[in-house]
Amino acid sequence: MTMLCAQTRIALSDPTSVLHPLCEHLLEHEAEVSEAGGVTTIRLDGSRAELRLEAGALAILVEAPDLARLQGSKFAIASHVVEFAPAGAAPVIRWSGDGAEPMLPPDFRVLSVTGVEQLTPHMRRIHFRGEDLGRYDSLEALHVRLFIPPVGLPEPVWPMIGADGLLQSPPPERRPAIRKYTIREIDVAAGTLAIDFVLHDDAGPGSAFAANVQIGDRIGMAGPGGRGLKQAERYIFLADETGLPALARMLEHLPVDAMGLALVEIADAAERQPLALPEGFELRWLHRDGAAPGSASLLTDALATLDWPAGEGSLYLWAACEHAAFREIRAAARQYLRPEIDAHLVVSYWRAGVSEEQHAAEKRKAA
C-alpha cells in the first residue's frame, strides 16, 4: 500500500514537557503509544506517527494510507503540541510532504443546490450536487454539519487546513453559520444528496437558507456524525419534524420483518408525508393542532401509554426532538428499558427559544 507522508520539526524550549502530556492525551483518544530506541510511535485511526526528541525541538514524521487520515493525525498532534506548549510561547508549526498546501478539510465538501421540493407547508427538500460523497453514505452516521455562508457574500469562504495542520476559520464577518442536518437521500454514483429542512418561525441561518434558496447556491458540508441504527427485535421511534428525516431514512432501511412503533409529532395533518415502513410497523402521527413547536407533550404522553416489554426480545428506542421532550423521553428510557438487552439513543435536536450555538454550548456544559 502506498503511504502518504508528512513531517515537521517544531522548536520547543522543553520538548519533553510537551511530548508526555501529548501521549497521555492521545491514549485517552484510543491511540496506541509505544516507545523504543528514543522514538515514540503513535498509531491513531490507521495512521502512524514517529516523534523524536531533539535538542530544543520535537521532530515528527506521520504516515497514513490516505489524505483524510494523514490530515487527521497531523491535526491531532499539532493541536495538542499547541495546547501543551508553555503559555505565551506559541510554537511555530510548518509541515512538509503530502497535504502541506492549505486545503479544505478532508471531511468537507462544497454542495451546489440543484432542485427544491416543497414536501409539506413547513418541510422543504433541497437537492444538492457534490463530489466524492462516498464517506457520507452510511446508516451508521446520518447527520452532517452544514456551513451556511452569510447572506449577500459574493463568494463563500470555507474553513481550511493551514500549513500548520490546524483548522483556519474565515474572519467572523465571512464565517459560515454551522447547523446540523440529516442526509435524507444520497446517491454516491450520481453525486447527489437531499436534505429536508423544517421552515420555522424565528428562522435562524438554517431555516432562512431553505426559505430563500436559489438553484446554484453553495453551502459546505462536514461529517458525517452521529450513531446509527441498532439491530433489535422491536423498535420504538419518536420524532418531531426535525427528527423525521432521520426516522424516515432509518425506516426505509430496516429489514422487511422489523417490528415496532413510530410516533411522529407534527403541526397538523397537512404536515404528514408518505413514509416507507416495514409491514410490522405502526406509524402514529401526533398533531399539535395550533400549539407552538416545542410546547406540546404529545410524544411523552404517547410514550406513557405504551406497554414496555417484559421477558425476552430486545428493544431499541430512538428519539430526536425538542429539548423538553428529549429530557422526558430520556428519563422514561432510563426508567423502563432493561439495560441487559435493550438500547436507546435519545437526542435533543433543538431547543425552543435558543439558537443552535446556544443549545450546543448548553449541551457541552451539561456534559
Q: Does position 120 bind ligand FAD by CB under 6 A?
A: no
Helix (H, G, I), strand (E, B) or coil at 189: coil
Segment lying near ligand FAD (by CB under 6 A), choices 29-37, 198-206, 229-237, 328-336: 198-206
C-alpha cell at 187: 446517491
Q: Candidates 99, 106, 149, 206: give the one binding ligand FAD (CB under 6 A).
A: 206
Q: Does position 198 bind ligand FAD by CB under 6 A?
A: yes
Give the x/- contact pattern for ligand FAD in 238-277, rule: CB under 6 A: ---xx--x--------------------------------
Q: Does position 355 bind ligand FAD by CB under 6 A?
A: yes
DSSP notation for 304-358:
HTSPPP-SSS-EEEEEEEEHHHHHHHHHHHHHHS-TTT-EEEEEEEEBTTB-HHH
Kindly state the helix (H) or strand (E) to which residue 106 belongs, with its residue range.
none
Segment lying near ligand FAD (by CB under 6 A), choices 2-10, 55-63, 257-265, 351-359: 351-359
DSSP notation for 230-266:
PP-SEEEEEE-TTTHHHHHHHHHHS-TT-EEEEEEEE
Cβ of residue 205: shortest distance to ligand FAD, in angstroms?
A: 4
Please report which residue ranges of 87-216 form alpha helices under DSSP H.
205-212
Query: Smaller CB distance to ligand FAD: residue 67 or 113?
Result: 113
* CA-derived radius of gyration, the chain: 23
Segment lying near ligand FAD (by CB under 6 A), choices 22-30, 32-40, 200-208, 275-283: 200-208
Cβ of residue 194: shortest distance to ligand FAD, in angstroms?
A: 10
Q: Does position 143 bind ligand FAD by CB under 6 A?
A: yes
Pick from 252, 302, 255, 293: which is nearest to 274 by CA?
252
Please report which residue ranges of 54-204 form alpha helices under DSSP H.
67-84
Helix (H, G, I), strand (E, B) or coil at 207: helix
Cβ of residue 186: shortest distance to ligand FAD, in angstroms?
A: 13
Cα–Cα distances in angstroms (integers) from residue 25 to residues 33, 123, 149, in the given order:
10, 43, 34
Q: Does position 226 bind ligand FAD by CB under 6 A?
A: yes
- CB-based contact 194:125 (threshold 8 Å): yes
Pick from 16, 11, 65, 67: which is nearest to 43 by CA?
65
Cβ of residue 360: shortest distance to ligand FAD, in angstroms?
A: 8
Q: Candidates 181, 235, 318, 326: give the one binding ligand FAD (CB under 6 A).
A: 181
Cβ of residue 180: shortest distance to ligand FAD, in angstroms?
A: 4
Q: Candidates 69, 74, 80, 179: give the one binding ligand FAD (CB under 6 A).
A: 179
- CB-based contact 36:52 (threshold 8 Å): no
Q: Does position 40 bind ligand FAD by CB under 6 A?
A: no
Cβ of residue 285: shortest distance to ligand FAD, in angstroms?
A: 17
Kindly state the helix (H) or strand (E) to which residue 245 belongs, with its residue range.
helix 244-253
Residues near ligand FAD, by CB under 6 A: 143, 179-182, 195-198, 200, 202-207, 226, 241-242, 245, 293, 349-356
